[in-house]
Every structure is written in structure tokens, then in C-alpha cells.
Amino acid sequence: MAYLTQPDYVKYICSCGQLKPITNLYFCRHCLKIRCGFCICHEVDSHYCANCLENMPSSEARLKKNRCSSCFACPSCFHTLSTRATLARDPAGGDGKPPKKMYYLSCFNCRWTSRDVGIPDQPVASGGWPERTNPFTTRFNQLLDYYKAIAQQEKQEKLDKERKKFVTRGKYINLTDKTGLTGAMARNIAGLPSSESSSSVISNFVPSQASPDVEELPDDYHLKEIDLKQITRISQRTSCPELQPSLASRLSPRPRALCVKRSQRCRACDHNLTKPEYNPGSVKFKIELLAYYHVPEVKIISYETIKPGGTSALLLKLSNPTAHEMTVKMLQPEDVPDQEDEHKTIEKTLEKSLNLEKDISWNASFPRRPPPPNAGSVNLPAVSLTLAQRDDAAEYDDEPPGDNDDIILWRKSNKLALRLKLTTDAQAKVGSNAYFSFALQYSYRNTVPPSATVVQHSDHTLYTTLILDLGKVCE
Amino acid sequence: MALYEGIALIQEKQAVVLDLGHDYTKFGFTGEAAPRCIIPSSFWSPDEKRYKRVYDYKDEDELYENLVHMLHLLYFRHVLVNPKERKVVVVESLLTPTLFRETLAKVLFMHYEVSGVMWADSARLCALTLGTNITLVVNIGALDAEVVAVVHGSPVIHAIQSGPLGAGAVSAELARLLDEQHGDTLRLTEHVLEDIRVRACFVPGRARALTLDQPGTVEARAVCVTGPERVLTVGGRARERAAEVLFLRDNEMASLPDLVLKCILQCPIDARRELAANVLVTGGGAALTGLKARLAAELRHLVTLPPYRSSLHSLQFSFHRAPCPDSSVSWSGGSLAGAADGGSRALLRDVYCRSRRLRDWPCLLHTTPPDHHHWAELQC
């Protein structure tokens, strides 16, 4: 792997303009472009509980409000609760019956137990834990029915109005037409709901009643000793949005929230970039188009300190992760040809004329950050370098040292070390970040046939721009 | 007709309600009584190696990225649904900056490709949870306190009052009092201050508040708060005086009860009595122990003083209790509004894509009536 925990010294410029290390990038084999987490479409693939690793179909997950039915989280510290068993003594006096096993929930992290809040022990280990219901549910449902009825009525009135337009007027003018006002119309003009509501839900609805009394604190509240351990913290309150208990005695075990496995999709071509395996225990993927497996990886071996106006040596390692030979050429970033135009094949134009092309307007709204300014330039050799294909077995071979010259330091199976020269600008400020950038032109053999009829591989020449972070400019 | 509608309801995915507060974000499904999650409005930023707040932005691009990360967290870690092809109800304040609204619209429509967004202001949504026709909504948020009169489903825009009297003001005052008590700048983090404010602070009644500065008053009991680094003694002075900043009157008349009375004063005269009889105090800041009682007492006292005495003296104040905890009242309103009309009021994605424009009340384009003589000019 590249640098897992260290800062990212080598960053690639994604096709959306974001700077990311190679481990965070994807490579779409259909568009032949680098993509990152910011410019792809994430989708929920499957639900599972991270504690018991149990899969849950999405319909069931929706029904259970995305919570596991067997695992509970501590309401105090959010650790997973464990079920503990005790032998219950029969309070009626043991008349020969063996003591029964009873279960309660306990947190091994903060020592909270379900007995603390008065939840009775359960005879079965798996559950039957009482659920605290939301005390506002009934009122909320009343409100919901009321507003649904109003919305329904509004819709009906709208329909009636439209129907009325086509009704031919009668022969005679009645009183309403003459004065132009009825009770219903007057109410309508004032914006009040019409009185003759057909629905019983609307007429039976009771709006909330205000009361002049507000619960006051007792006069000696300031002298009372308060036990802060009995008052919940805000994180404990928000972890239970229905009740938001302010006293620790009102806490209750929360069923653990589920997690999801996500699949990623390229926005431009709608192909999957990654697709995880369904089994929650597995960390493997069914589809895994990561840039780490397709784009040449660059690592910094070492470099001399960067001084304004000076030149310093830079040692880089290039490796080819693909199973095909790769030709790599280094370019200045401004020499990269504009890639937008070259894919305009007949197929594409046909698609466009049929209006099949994906709406890519999201791309326009994207913030495209300009890359950070360079502290200087990299002197690049004008030679094409060939990297052998990746071969895991070659690691164990004793390879004779390859062709060494003043650019190539060493060569070993699919890896290559380069010696480059950096020229730092004389104006570079001491203490500023020393960023250097260059582009790579590399050949890529696409093993995915574009359609079922074409079998042969297609070779492409692709470009990517990198930014090296070489610390600070020194004196 | 009804049958087809039923089918449409099944096919339409349940919409989500987003209340992106300054400190806490409430997120969940429409038609449910409580949000699925209430989480701090911050996310882990791998680039900056710190937790970053959504409202911590310098320009539009940064806000765009913040919103993308925050919504990703909400959709894929907490509510676990695909954002695509699903409608959203956005709960916002009437005073939300245009930049924020437009960027949020861009993120929702373009980045997450939601099918429609219903923009609803929190004052009206708070009033929805009561079912009353005329309501005065006092929303005490993290930064601002906002007083909006909602009369028959429309907010009285010219009477909106707002001031920096949210929970943040209480925290700042608490930090000052604690520094004073310990004779040292403690540099307490926001989390510690919040914890002290929520658990230890209270608002004394009006009778006691008047005696606070008199010599010989017995101070409130001190408590010890265990923080992440040390145990801090919070004196009685800090405990009961932190929220006094909300009731501090000066010549500008910008205290919390003043805001409420000024709002009533600027409302139409025939709605004033009803407004005073239907006050709803909500928002996370309103959950502070004793705050509602104190506000009621202050209002009843202040209304007998000039300049309110002449026009408001006979008002009787009554208070509502919303059918949900204080911090999620506007969210619950959004949940009701989104579920009631099945998303027919939402701004659809294709409409937005065509014009790239949001309706907004300060914009003349959307508020000029068609019979106004400037209407024709605005259309071109």
C-alpha cells in the first residue's frame, strides 16, 4: 500500500479536479478516467448489523427503522450491551423448584445495567425487552390525519373548480350571482378554511390549547443540591430523538443502528466501480475498479532539501500494477492534451443525437479547485520508459541488476527507480510548501471488450497529473 | 381517483426531512414523529485532519464540499437510504443567507440528484405542530433567537425580529463568568461549555433575578463538573447568571422579551391579542431549565412599561406545548408538511435544472403580483 497513516505526499488530480492519494481513487474502465469519492454516485447496497454481522433485507430494515433486533447499545456511553445471566431467587420461598435463570443487559465499558433504570430481568436471553414508546405519537398522528384531510380537500376543491368551468350557466340569475358573494366565497377570500368541510377528521380536530401557566422552578431551586450524574449529557439526549430524556433514570437501551455496504457507480457511464460481496463478514468485492490496480503508482524514495533558486535531486519509484506491459513517459502538466475532445467517436455522436447521453450538468456545478502553485519545475527526461507487467512470483527471483544509466537508478520486475532533478524558483518563499507537479503519459490495455462482438483488447494512451509534496522550502 | 393515488403513494419513495441547524442537524423521514438522528453539524475532514463544522466556510466552494460531506454522512451512516430519486423537505429559517440556500440546492439537485426539494420556513412548520391559526413562534436556536408571527399560514415578514440571543450567547457569558470566578482564562472548549450549560445552568425566576445584585443574597449552590481534562467547580454565580444575558435590557431594547413584544407591536392590530395568547417557545436553546417560565414573567412585566404600555397593556400571554421535544419542533413540522401533501409543493429537479433559480421572499421576481405595473419588466 501507499502511505496509510502518513500524510499523502503524492497526490493525483482526479478527473473532477480533486487532489487525492492513489488509495482513495477509482478508475472507470469504461470511461478510462480516474474518479474519486466526490464525483461518483454512492448507493446503498445491503444492510447489516456491525455487531452480530447479521444481514438484513432492506425491506425488513425499513420496517425495523434501521435497527438490529438483537443487539443493543448502551444509552449512557453508546458501547454495545452484553446480556448477563443471573439465578433469580424465588421470593415466595423455594419450594423445591430450581432457581430460574434471568437475564439483564449490562455495559462492560461504563457498567450501566438495565436494572439501573428499573427494567425487570427477562426470562429469555434474546429479548422481550420493553420498548419505550414515543408519548407524542397519538397527537402526531392526529395532526397528520388532519393535514392529510386538508390536502385532500384542497385537491378536491381544485378539481371541482376546474369542472365548474365547463358547466353552462343557467338561464336565470340568482341572488348569489347578483351580489357576487356567498358565505363560502367570503371565507375563501379571507383565506379561511371552508366551513362546510365534508371530512369528519377536519371538523373533529382540536388545535393545541395554550395555557397561561408555565412550569416554574421552585423558589429554593438554587439551594438544592443537584447530582450531575443524574442529569443526562446532550449526546445521551440526542441519541434518543423521540424522548430526549433529561434524567439518567429515563435512559433505556437502544437497539443498535445498522450499517450499510455501499456500491459505487460512475456518473458518466453508470457502470459499477465497486460492488461489495453480500456477506457482511467478507471484506472482498465483486467489482473493484480501484486506481491502485490500474494507474502507475509513484512513490518518493528520497529528495534533497529544496532551496530557492537551487537544484536538488529527487528519487522516485514507479510501478506498474497491471498485468500488461506499460510504457510511461513523463510530461510537464501543461503539455497534457485536452482529453475532452478525443472521445468523440461516431458512437458518441449517435448517442447524443438519440438523446441517450447522460446528463452531465452536475459536472458544471462542481467546484474545481485550482491545483496549488508549484515551487519550481521538475526536469523531465524525454524518454519513454517501459515497465514490465506485474508478476507476484518475480518478487522471489534473484534478478540481475538491469540497465542503469543516469536516469534509471535500478529496475526490478514491474518497478523502476528514477533519478530526477528539481529546479526551484528563485522567488520561492522560504517556509512555503514545496509542491512540484508533473504529468504521466502511460499506455493502458483495456481487457474489457467494448461490446460482445469485439474480442480483441484495445490499447489506450492515458494521462494523469501528479502533485508531489516535498515538505517546505528551506534556506 | 383514490385508487390511483394510493398506487402513486406506494411508488413514491418516502421523503426525508433535513433540518441543518448551526450546532445540530436533525434528519429523518416524513410522516414519522421524531427524526431518525440528531447529530452535531460537523464531519471528519480527512484533508484537514479535524472535525469540521458545516457552517465553517469562507466561500461557496468550501460550503459545497462541506454540504456534500455532511449529507453523505447523513444519508449513508445514519438514515441509510439512497438520496437519488427521493424528495427532500428542507427546514430553513426565513433569514437563511441566499448563498447557503443556493449552494444547498445545487448540492441536493446536482450532486445527490434528489427528485424534488420542498423549501419550508421553520416558523410556519413550528406552527403546524400546534394546528392553531395564529401563532407567535419564538425560536431560540444555537446562534440567534428569532420571533416570527404566523397568521393563517403566512409569516408576517415585516414583523420578524431576530437577535444574537441563542444558546451561543449563553455559552459565551458562561465562559466569561467562569473565567471571572477562577481569575484565569480557562479556554474551555465549546463541548465543555455546552455540557455545563445543559446540565448545571438554570434561569432563576424573576423574583430571584431582581435580588441577584443586592448584597446579602445567598448564592446558588456550586457544582463540580467533570470535564475531559479536569474537574471544574462551577460557582452558583455562573450557574444562574449565564442566561441573564438574554434578559439584559439596554437602550436598544434587544433583549429576548423585547424582541417578542416588538414583533407583536409590528403585527396587524387585530392579530395582536391572538398572537399573545398563542406563544410557542421552541428551539434547542429553549430547553434550558426555567427559561420559559422566566420569559413568561418578563413578558407580563414588560408589557406594563413604556413603550409597550400604550398599545399592548391588556394582552394576556398564554403558551403552547409542542407535541415533541423542544429541539426538534421545526423538524416535526417538516415531517407533517412533507407527509400531508405527498410532496406536491416540492420544487422538482427538472424545473430547477431548467431555470437554476429558487423562489425566495426578498426577490422581487417572485413576490411581485401579476397586476403590478412592474411585473412586465421583471419578466424579461
User: pLDDT for B326-347, tens place per residue?
Assistant: 999 999 999 999 998 877 888 8
Nearest chain B Cα distance for residue A388, angstroms: 34
At a CB cut-off of 8 Å and minimum separation 6, what does B235 contact? B177, B181, B219, B222
Separation of alpha carbons A346 and A46, rounded Å: 39
Phi, psi of A434 (to 5 degrees): -95, 95
Q: Indicate yes or no: CB of B223 within 8 angstroms of CB of A42.
A: no
Mean pLDDT of B266-270: 92
Chain B CB contacts of A233 under 8 Å are 195, 198-199
Residue A342 is predicted with a pLDDT of 46
A144 touches chain B (CB under 8 A): yes
Most confident of A97-101, A186-190, B339-343: B339-343
Q: Indicate yes or no: CB of A41 within 8 angstroms of CB of B84.
A: yes
Chain B CB contacts of A143 under 8 Å are 128-129, 131, 323, 336
Q: And the C-alpha cell for B199?
A: 446540565
pLDDT at B26 over 60: yes
How many CB pairs below 8 Å do chains A and B form together?
183
Rounded (10°) CA dihedral B218, B220, B224, B229: -100
User: Would you call B245 helix, strand, or coil by DSSP?
Assistant: helix
At B2, the pLDDT band (50, 70, 90 cuts) reads: very low
Chain A CB contacts of B296 under 8 Å are 214
Contact A35, A26 (CB under 8 A): yes
Which three-class secondary structure string do you get for chain A?
CCCCCCCCCEEEECCCCCEECHHHEEEECCCCEEEECCCEEEEEEEEECCCCCCEECHHHHHHCCCEEEEEEECCCCCCEEEEEEEEECCCCCCCCCCCEEEEEEEECCCCCEHHHHCCCCECCCCCCCCCCCCCCHHHHHHHHHHHHHHHHHHHHHHHHHHHHHHCCCCCCCCHHHHHCCCHHHHHHHHCCCCCCCCCHHHHHCCCCCCECCCCCCCCCHHHCCCCHHHECCHHHHHCCCCCCCCEHHHCCCEEEECEEEEEEEECCCCCEEEEECCCCCCCCEEEECEHHHCCCEEEEEEECCECCCCEEEEEEEEECCCCCCEEEEEECHHHCCCCCCCCCCHHHHHHHHCCCCCCCCHHHHCCCCCCCCCCEEEECCCCEEEECCCCHHHHHCCCCCCCCCCCEEEEECCEEEEEEEEEECCCCCCCCEEEEEEEEEEEEEECCCCCCCCCCCEEEEEEEEEEEEEEEECC
pLDDT at A193 over 60: no
Q: Pick from A23, A62, A222 the residue to mutate for testing the B interface (most B CBs within 10 Å).
A: A222
Measured between CA atoms, the residue of chain B closest to residue A154 is B341
Percent of chain B with pLDDT over 90: 59
Chain A CB contacts of B64 under 8 Å are 366-367
Chain A CB contacts of B320 under 8 Å are 208-210
Residue A353 is predicted with a pLDDT of 47
Cα–Cα distances (Å) from B56 to B63, B68, B377, in that order, read: 8, 14, 39
Residue A179 is predicted with a pLDDT of 64
Give the mean pLDDT of chain B.
Answer: 89
Minimal Cβ distance to A362: which of B33, B111, B317? B111
Nearest chain B Cα distance for residue A308, angstroms: 27
Nearest chain B Cα distance for residue A301, angstroms: 23
Rounded (10°) CA dihedral A179, A184, A186, A192: -170
Minimal Cβ distance to A134: which of B34, B153, B322? B34
Measured between CA atoms, the residue of chain A closest to residue B35 is A241
Chain A CB contacts of B199 under 8 Å are 228, 231-233
Q: Indicate yes or no: CB of B33 within 8 angstroms of CB of A140.
A: yes
Percent of chain A with pLDDT over 70: 78
- Start-end of H helices in chain B: 2-11, 60-73, 98-106, 122-128, 167-182, 190-199, 206-211, 236-241, 256-266, 272-276, 291-302, 309-312, 329-340, 349-355, 364-367, 375-379
pLDDT at A360 over 60: no
Q: Pick from B41, B45, B82, B244 the residue to mutate for testing the A interface (most A CBs within 10 Å).
A: B82
At A386, the pLDDT band (50, 70, 90 cuts) reads: confident
Residue B118 burial by Cβ neighbours in a 10 Å radius (0-12, 13-18, 19+): buried
Q: What is the pTM assigned to this prediction?
A: 0.87
Residue B37 is predicted with a pLDDT of 93
Residue A257 is predicted with a pLDDT of 92
Amino acid at A284: K
Measured between CA atoms, the residue of chain A closest to residue B77 is A259
Residues B84-123 pLDDT 10s: 889 999 999 999 999 999 999 999 998 898 999 999 999 9
Q: Indicate yes or no: CB of A140 within 8 angstroms of CB of B324.
A: yes
Separation of alpha carbons A135 and B288, rounded Å: 21
At A358, the pLDDT band (50, 70, 90 cuts) reads: very low
Q: Indicate yes or no: CB of B289 within 8 angstroms of CB of A66.
A: no
A226 touches chain B (CB under 8 A): yes
Minimal Cβ distance to A216: which of B26, B293, B336? B293
Phi, psi of B70 (to 5 degrees): -65, -45
